[in-house]
């Protein structure tokens, strides 16, 4: 066997003896079965066996980060949510990894780790595509080249030639890394690529008249490696039609969210923003109710995270611990690797919010939300840069101040006297952890004047039974009134439990499903079975009626009622203690260009929905058609035909 000298690029100095064992078919004439030879450094690298290890473990053993606020060896425990993404990238079934994320979560470095792993363990041509030329050149010199030179394991593959570390093309001993930008069509069109990184795709310029999308153009480069290519699409979202949001919602076969574990009670939960401290639901980012200055909250670290199970308060340090205890799960609840092994998706998506990042304080998230309440531009930055969700532009139809002017002087649980009340209904909006409710009294007549009786949030059906059926409702004369019909949202949250509660209260509770458009305001659909659990159908004893209604019709009506002055007929009255939080929920939704009502993701609308359900309930009971006390129902009585005069012909 001839061992030819290698070029300077492979280091011509022989290193260390190696014992070769060759079968007879491969042995040159006169060679023994075993022979000690000296190999050149480049030959040792080619012949060296690569141990099979996960990408995250490789990064922890070899990667060195210098362009970071925390320079030094890569530590998976710093950003534990990135380990799953790195390992999923190299799962045999996965071809495309889609990551919708905010800034400052470390995702770009995680993808660089994947390319570093490829350099060491599975070399092949790689291509990075950035939004513009300046970004491409900066990332080449400041990130990718620094990763290679500062990581000893990767630096072994450098050729040592200055020209091989060019800005837009990095040539290693065994592979090349190309860099391009979205508008450089010529740079995307003529290179076979196995590893493709599409960075910040929402910032790519629109394609020209003669060119296709830069994303599609770059993806065509992977055709040669159709069976084993790897592609990463990463970006901060902008709008709903943006590339990353469309890829996450339409391309990804499985979408994963990061679940954390409370370090105080050990319960699992999916972290959410939560909004205000007066949000009745437990859990989420909270801050002092008497402090609304975002600069003060951020500077003094006044915000905390509330566990939705034990209501324990997490500092930033406890948040970081909860994240370290966390794991990725798909939308059916399967853990990441179990999901990949079971379902074997080719395209997977990950959604990351800023509040799980150790680089973003909880107080910064809260402060940005408060800035957004006063400035639409700041709210867009909160949606894109904190929640990592697209911005939906909207026009606020109503204001909180106008809603609060509908308050009167009544305490909770009371209604006007003078026999003005025709009926009482309740609307209930179902959440994962409880029920938002509103009880309303209705006046007589087509004007449909109404009064809020009580509103709040409960976490059990027993508590809901109490506020609806047991707590008294009285008027000024001491007369007692009762809730005659409750409409409860049955879609999306705890459907089985809602059906069962409606069955126990049959005749005074209807489960509800909203429809975008219907030919009539409301209708009923018979229900025979509970929602399927474990693949088995379970019959609802006696059956139920599912109340369906055109929610846009009723939301249009509600919007009109809220414009009526309190002293005018048909006014929509609120209790004296109605909160600002309730007023905000009543201003949440807006009418879009499609003439349908929409709710931005960052605005809770539970009070608005409860009011809509009350309108539906009032129509179902035909309350506005009820006669006032003492008013007789007029009936049309047909008069008998006069007897025809004798002798008068009945014919013409």
* pLDDT single digits (tens) 548-567: 999 989 998 998 899 888 88
Average pLDDT over all residues of the chain: 86
- Give residue limits of the domains in the chain: 8-47, 55-262+328-358, 400-625
The residue that leads in pLDDT, 289 or 397, is 289
Report the share of the chain in percent with pLDDT over 70: 84
Q: For residue 340, is pLDDT > 80?
A: yes
Mean pLDDT of 237-261: 94
Q: What local confidence, expressed as pLDDT, does residue 189 receive?
A: 66
Residue 243 confidence (pLDDT) above 90 = yes
Average pLDDT of span 17-26: 63
Give the model's pLDDT for residue 622. 94
More confident residue, 493 or 185: 493
Q: Residue 381: pLDDT above 50?
A: yes
Give the model's pLDDT for residue 185.
60
Please give the pLDDT value at position 643: 41
What digits encode the pLDDT tens for the residues 588-627?
888 876 778 888 766 889 999 999 999 999 999 999 999 9
The pLDDT, as a whole number, for residue 466 is 94
Strand partners, 590: 598
pTM here is 0.62
Burial class (CB in 10 A: 0-12, 13-18, 19+), 554: buried
Q: Are 100 and 128 in contact (CB under 8 A)?
A: no
Determine the pLDDT at residue 439.
97
Lowest mean pLDDT among 33-37, 348-352, 395-399: 395-399
Distance CA 202, CA 388 (A): 12
Burial (0-12, 13-18, 19+ Cβ within 10 Å), 253: middle
pLDDT in tens, 439-450: 999 999 888 899
Q: What size, in residues, is the chain?
A: 652
Look at 67 and 293; give whichever has higher pLDDT.
293
What percent of the residues of the chain are helix, what percent strand, and what percent coil, each to the nearest 5? 30, 25, 45
Q: Which string of b and e fits 436-460 if b means at least 16 CB within 10 Å?
A: bbbbbbbbbbeebbbbbbbbbbbee
pLDDT tens-place string over residues 144-198: 999 999 999 999 999 888 888 888 899 999 999 999 998 876 666 678 999 999 9
> Average pLDDT for residues 130-142, to the nearest whole number?
92
Return the CATH number of the domain spanning residue range 400-625.
Answer: 3.30.420
Domain covering 55-262+328-358, topology: Rossmann fold (3.40.50)
Which pLDDT score, from 0 to 100, does residue 618 have?
95
Give the separation between CA 22 and CA 236, rounded to whole angstroms.
54
- Position 516 scores a pLDDT of 83
Confidence band of 397 (pLDDT split at 50, 70, 90): low
Say if residues 368 and 576 touch (Cβ distance below 8 Å). no
Beta carbons of 197 and 127 less than 8 angstroms apart: yes
pLDDT band with cut points at 50, 70 and 90 for residue 29: confident
**Least confident residue range of 127-136, 206-215, 290-299, 421-430:** 206-215
pLDDT at 644 over 60: no
pLDDT exceeds cutoff 80 at 80? yes
Distance CA 200, CA 640 (A): 83
């Amino acid at each position: 066997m001839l061992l030819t000298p290698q070029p300077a690029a492979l280091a011509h100095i022989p290193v260390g003896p190696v014992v070769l064992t060759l079968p007879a078919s491969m042995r040159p004439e006169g060679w023994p079965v075993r022979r000690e030879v000296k190999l050149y450094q480049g030959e040792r690298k080619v012949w060296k066996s690569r141990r099979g290890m996960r990408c995250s473990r490789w990064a922890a053993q070899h990667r060195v980060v210098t362009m970071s606020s925390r320079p030094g060896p890569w530590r998976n425990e710093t950003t534990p949510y990135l380990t799953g993404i790195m390992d999923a990238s190299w799962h045999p079934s996965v071809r495309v990894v889609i990551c919708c994320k905010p800034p400052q979560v470390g995702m770009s470095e995680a993808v660089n780790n994947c390319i570093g792993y490829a350099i060491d363990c599975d070399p092949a041509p790689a291509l990075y595509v950035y939004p513009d030329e300046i970004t491409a050149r900066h990332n080449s010199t400041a990130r990718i080249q620094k990763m290679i030179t500062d990581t000893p394991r990767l630096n072994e593959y450098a050729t040592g030639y200055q020209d091989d570390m060019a800005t837009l093309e990095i040539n290693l001993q065994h592979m090349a890394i190309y860099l391009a930008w979205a508008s450089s069509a010529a740079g995307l069109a003529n290179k076979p690529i196995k590893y493709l990184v599409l960075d910040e795709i929402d910032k790519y310029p629109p394609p020209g008249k003669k060119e296709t999308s830069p994303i599609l153009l770059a993806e065509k480069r992977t055709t040669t490696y159709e069976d084993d290519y790897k592609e990463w699409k990463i970006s901060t979202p902008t709008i709903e039609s943006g590339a990353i949001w469309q890829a996450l919602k339409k391309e990804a076969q499985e979408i994963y969210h990061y679940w954390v574990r409370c370090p105080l009670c050990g319960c699992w939960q999916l972290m959410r923003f939560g909004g205000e401290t007066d949000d009745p639901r437990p859990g989420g980012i909270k801050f002092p109710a008497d402090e609304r200055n975002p600069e003060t909250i951020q500077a003094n670290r006044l915000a905390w995270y509330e566990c939705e199970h034990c209501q324990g308060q997490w500092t930033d340090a406890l948040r970081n611990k909860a994240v370290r205890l966390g794991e990725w799960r798909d939308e059916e609840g399967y853990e990441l690797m179990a999901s990949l092994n079971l379902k074997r998706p080719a395209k997977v998506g990950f959604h990351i919010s800023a509040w799980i990042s150790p680089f973003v304080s909880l107080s910064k998230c809260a402060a940005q939300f408060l800035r957004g309440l006063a400035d639409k531009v700041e709210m867009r930055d909160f949606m894109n840069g904190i929640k990592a969700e697209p911005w939906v532009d909207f026009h606020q139809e109503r204001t909180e101040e106008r809603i609060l002017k509908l308050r009167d002087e009544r305490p909770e649980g009371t209604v006007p006297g003078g026999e003005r009340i025709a009926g009482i209904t309740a609307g209930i909006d179902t959440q994962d952890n409880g029920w938002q409710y509103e009880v309303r009294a209705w006046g007589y007549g087509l004007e449909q004047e109404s009064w809020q009786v009580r509103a709040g949030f409960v976490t059990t059906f027993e508590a809901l039974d109490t506020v609806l059926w047991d707590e008294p409702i009285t008027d000024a004369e001491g007369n007692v009134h009762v809730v005659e019909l409750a409409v409860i949202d049955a879609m999306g949250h705890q459907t089985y439990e809602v059906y069962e509660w409606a069955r126990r209260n049959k005749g005074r509770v209807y489960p509800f499903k909203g429809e975008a458009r219907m030919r009539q305001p409301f209708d009923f659909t018979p229900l025979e079975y509970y929602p399927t659990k474990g693949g088995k159908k379970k019959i609802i004893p006696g059956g139920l009626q599912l109340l369906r209604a055109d929610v846009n019709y009723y939301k249009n009506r509600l919007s009109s009622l809220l414009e009526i002055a309190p002293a005018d007929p048909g006014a929509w009255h609120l209790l004296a203690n109605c909160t600002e939080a309730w007023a905000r929920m009543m201003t949440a939704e807006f009418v879009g260009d499609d003439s349908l009502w929409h709710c931005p993701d960052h605005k809770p609308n539970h009070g608005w929905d409860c009011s809509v359900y009350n309108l539906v309930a009032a129509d179902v009971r035909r309350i506005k058609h009820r006669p006032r006390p003492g008013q007789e129902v007029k009936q049309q009585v047909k008069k008998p035909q006069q007897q025809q005069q004798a002798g008068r012909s009945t014919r013409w």
